Structure formats: structure tokens, C-alpha cells
Amino acid sequence: MEEIHVTRMELLEKKKQIVLAEQGADLLKKKRDALLIEFMSVMDLALQTSEELQRAAREATYAISIARAVDGTVALKAAGLAVEKRPFVEITGSYVMGIPIPEINKVSVRRSVLGREWSMLGVSSRIDETAEKMENEVDIIVEVAGVETKLKRLAAEIQKTRRRVNALDYIVVPRLKEQVKFISQSLEERAREDIFRLKKVKKSLEKRKKERTTKK
């Protein structure tokens, strides 16, 4: 338990701590509000990219179904095995209110017909279209991953900031105010006791003075 010194110096120190704690809470609230604004903006983007991903997935699934039905599963697998290059993701970082936020850069995996590893004469236009739809889906998956990563980081920081604000508003500041109240009351009580003692001493001195005057 924290030791409290009943002195005027301690009272001034506690009052200063209250001011600092309230200022800190105000700054954290501004930070929380700014993060919430950014969070809502990213949330809108997350909903948009999620819808785009669903649409791209439907288109890719449909293209695969057509290619499998017409060209066969063997032809699809052969085309898939011919792809040697693998998509890569570049991760950097940015800052929002001083908070590091991971950024997954959008690196497109889309290729032209000539840019794919198979022969133009070796596959059908349906397989080329399937590849195009799949590449588009992968692009959007990477974008969605970046948005969701940012969203989770912001949500965690908002929760962390909210806990700090609540700790200051409902624990730290009330406790400091109780301590200030206790010290103030103790000092007032001590002052009353001092006044009472002074009055008692004064009365005693006056009595002695009167007794000496009477004896003379």
C-alpha cells in the first residue's frame, strides 16, 4: 500500500499528479478518437475488398469449372505445373498517431498471355482465362490480407488505449483525489488541534500573568 505523508508538500505533489493524469487522459482520448476514425476508414475498405474477393472467387471458380469440363483435369494440372514463378509479398510499415502499422504492399501477380510459362499453342483460351481469373483473385487476396492486418493492429491499439483511459479516469485520478481529500482533511484537523493548543497555552499564560499580578 502506498505510504501517504500528511504534509503540504505532499498535498501539492498529489494535486500536480492529478493535473498530469487528467492531461494524459485527454491526450489518450484524442489518440483513441483518431485511431477510431482511421479504423472506420479501413473498415470501409475491408468491406469493399471483401466483396471484390467474393466476386473474383466466383468468377475464378466458374472459369475453372468450364475449363475442367471442356479441356479436362489433366490439361488444367499440366498448365498449373508449368508455372514456376511464385507470387511474393512485400511488407513495409507506416505510422498512425505514432503507432507502427504493418503495410502489405499490393504486388500484382497478373501476367500477359505471353508472360505465362506455357506455350500459347499448348493450352486453350479457357485455361488462359482461368489463369487470368485466378491471378486476379490472388491479387485481391493479398490486398484483403493487408487491409485485415492493418485493421487488427488498429483494433488492438484502440483497445489498449481505451484500457489506459479507463485506468486513468476510474482508478488513478479518483485514487489521487481521495488522497488529496485525506491529506487536506488531516492538515485541517492538525491546524484545528494547533489552534486549540495555542488557545490553551495562551489561556494558561494569561492565568499565570493574572496570578503574578494578584500576588503583587
Q: Across residues 189-204, what is the average pLDDT?
A: 83
Other Cβ atoms closer than 10 A to 104: 18
Q: CA-CA distance, 45 to 147, in Å (whole number)?
A: 7
Q: Up-side HSE of residue 95: CA atoms within 13 Å toward CB?
A: 4
Q: Across residues 2-17, what is the average pLDDT?
A: 89
What domains are defined for the chain?
Answer: 8-203 (1.10.287.3240)
Q: How confident is the model at residue 199 (pLDDT cuts 50, 70, 90)?
A: confident
Q: Cell digits for 68?
A: 475442367
Whether the pLDDT of residue 115 is over 80: the answer is no
Residue given cell 501539492 in the structure block: 12
Q: How confident is the model at residue 1 (pLDDT cuts 50, 70, 90)?
A: very low
Global confidence as pTM = 0.72
**Helices within 72-172 (DSSP H only):** 73-82, 125-167
Coil, helix or strand at residue 190: helix
Q: Cell digits for 193?
A: 488541534
Q: Up-side HSE of residue 20: CA atoms within 13 Å toward CB?
A: 7
The interaxial angle of helices 73-82 and 8-71, nearest 10 deg, is: 130
